[in-house]
Structure 1
Amino acid sequence: MSRAVRLLDLVQLLRRRRHPVRGEVLARELGISLRTLYRDIASLQAQGAPIEGEPGLGYVLRPGFTLPPLMFNEDEVEALMLGSHWVSENSDPRLAQAAMDVAAKVAAVLPPDKRELFDNPGLLIVRRGSGANDNLAPIREAIRKERKLKIDYNDVGRSPSSRAIWPFAVGFFEQARVVAAWCELRQDYRHFRIDRIVRLTETDIRYPKRRAVLLKDWRKQMGIASR
């Protein structure tokens, strides 16, 4: 591995972390010595990379740092292709189109040998779930804007109810799409299958907590580790 590639890999490792990561961990993942890692970090800092930290405490890359376009390896190309095709088959039309636009932009800058992976993929999406739902797009919009939604909902026993919810995440399962939200009726977190929402009304009312706070609280309650 050339030093230039190693430096780019180091930046990528730091970008994946939201919290400081110890030098020993980075060195192990890169397959280099701790002394070499320290030299690489110093080199990146000298070139303007906003890496904060010090030996023994860990390192973190400040948000907002960008790199010029990188060349993708075969695994990365297949991951992008598979992810974009999955979204195009399993989301609402607007998000599906965005996924295919991303795939087209990536394909446009690939060399011929990598482009072959896009044109003739070896990994295929087999659509078995319920697919797109008309309610998915407004739910995504409400999540982005942190807005309340009013819904009429049928539970598993087909019992109807009307709810005011604070949506903060959507889970994509094989057979269903589920919105995680704070339910004002139950005063607790609840999960609603989107295909059981019979009526949805968008509002301009911002819910009182930030989405990130709700998500963190929900993860803690569900016993899901934060990334």
Structure 2
Amino acid sequence: MRKADRLFQLVNLIRHQQPVSAATLAEQLNVSVRSIYRYIDDLSVTGMPIYGEPGIGYSLQPGFELPPLHLSAEELDALQLAVTIISRMAGREIADAARSLSAKVLASLPEERRQPESALFSYATGLSEQQKKIWDLLKQAISAEQWMHIIYNSLQGATSERTVYPLGLFYWGGKWTLGSWCALRKAYREFRVDMIQQVNYCAPPLELPETINIKTYIQHQSASEKLLNMKSSVT
């Protein structure tokens, strides 16, 4: 990454997280804390209104706005392709948000760059309208930290009903799965979104343990995958 791009990224990170520590910025940019100090000095020399408070972090002076975007052709291609894929492969709300974001970015570009011609296309089979509706409801439940009652068809054709606490939606290159805490099994469970027939909000059937969250779910899944790999190597 060019230094100018890294400095631009640094300003964006400060603007969205202020006040933010040098250690946090270093971790997000994958550089040393000493490099962050050097970048801040470089920005200050250019007149960038960044100020730091010991023990608190860096902030920008109120009212500061970044100059108009200057995106490369590759960046515009990536944006347009991402919007196309999201509009087909995710829920309606997030697809609308992606198109809105794309429109805002393109509107901020110089006039001659607002109608980019891309040679990248995606015609992957997307979600059905019913699946998009379910996807949206699941995402809303995750944001609202709301228990849900689902009717689910397994790959073997069996229909079951579960009360779950949804934690995250995961895309596996063709299929979405819902990562959740299952009240019946009292354990983490995954459900393919295209196999969920119906979803409804419901009252919590039990008190959710404090340790149940998306971070511990991902750790659990990673540990389970390593165990399966170990068993496979032994057999």
Q: TM-score, normalised by structure 1?
A: 0.71
Partner-residue secondary structure (3-state), 2:26: coil
Asked if the contact 1:181/1:190 (under 8 Å) is kept, the reply is: yes
Write the letter of the residue equivalent to 1:192.
F
Determine whether 1:122 maps to 2:124: no
Once superposed, what is the RMSD of the aligned Cα atoms? 4.2
Change (3 A) 1:34 1:179: closer
Residue pair 1:167, 1:182 contacting (<8 A) in 2 also:
yes
Give the letter aligned to residue 73 of structure 1: L
Residues 163, 183 of structure 1: 8 Å contact kept = yes
How far, CA to CA, are the matches of 2:52 and 2:205 in structure 1? 34
The 5-angstrom pairing of residues 177-192 of structure 1 reads 177-192=176-191
Do the aligned residues in 2 keep the contact of 1:148 with 1:207 (CA within 8 Å)?
no
CA contact (8 A) 1:77 1:114 kept: no
Ranked by relative contact order (alpha carbons within 8 Å, sequence separation 6 or more), the top structure is: 1
SS class of match (2:69): coil
Q: Deviations over 1:26-61 (max 9, x none)?
A: 37xxxxx888436237669982355878xxxxxx76
Mapped partners of 1:114, 1:212: distance in 2: 48
User: In the aligned structure 2, how far is the partner of 1:189 from the partner of 1:127?
Assistant: 30
Q: 1:143 to 1:34 in 2, by over 3 A?
A: closer
Q: Deviations over 1:153-177 (max 9, x none)?
A: 1111112211111112111233222
Counterpart residue number, 1:21:
26
What is the distance in 1 between the residues matched to 2:104 and 2:137? 26
CA drift at 1:196: 1.0
Contact kept in structure 2, 1:150 and 1:200, CA below 8 Å: yes
Deviation at 1:110, TM superposition (A): 1.5
For 1:71 and 1:147, the matched residues in 2 are separated by: 38
8 Å CA contact 2:10–2:25 kept in 1: the answer is: no
Deviation by residue 1:53-111 (Cα, 9 ceiling, x = unmatched): 8xxxxxx767xx98535413213322222222211122222322222122222222222
TM-score, normalised with respect to structure 2: 0.69
Amino acid at match of 1:37: Y
Cα 1:129–1:97 change in 2 (3 A) is closer
**CA deviation map 1:107-155 (0-9, x unaligned):** 22222443242xx212212223445513111111101100000011111
2:210 and 2:83 map into 1 onto residues whose CA distance is 25
CA 1:196/1:76 → structure 2, altered by over 3 Å: closer, same or farther? same
Mapped partners of 1:219, 1:164: distance in 2 = 20
- Matched residue type, 1:122: A
Unaligned runs of 5+ in 1: 28-32, 54-59
Closer/same/farther in 2, CA of residues 61 and 221 from structure 1, 3 Å limit: farther
Q: Partner of 1:161 in structure 2?
A: 160
Q: Unmatched 5+ residue regions in structure 2?
A: 224-235
Which residue number corresponds to residue 221 of structure 2? Answer: 222
Q: Residue 95 of structure 2 corresponds to which residue in structure 1? A: 96
Aligned 8 A contact 2:90 2:127 in 1: no
| Number of the residue aligned with 1:10 | 10
CA contact under 8 A between 2:85 and 2:122: conserved in structure 1?
A: yes
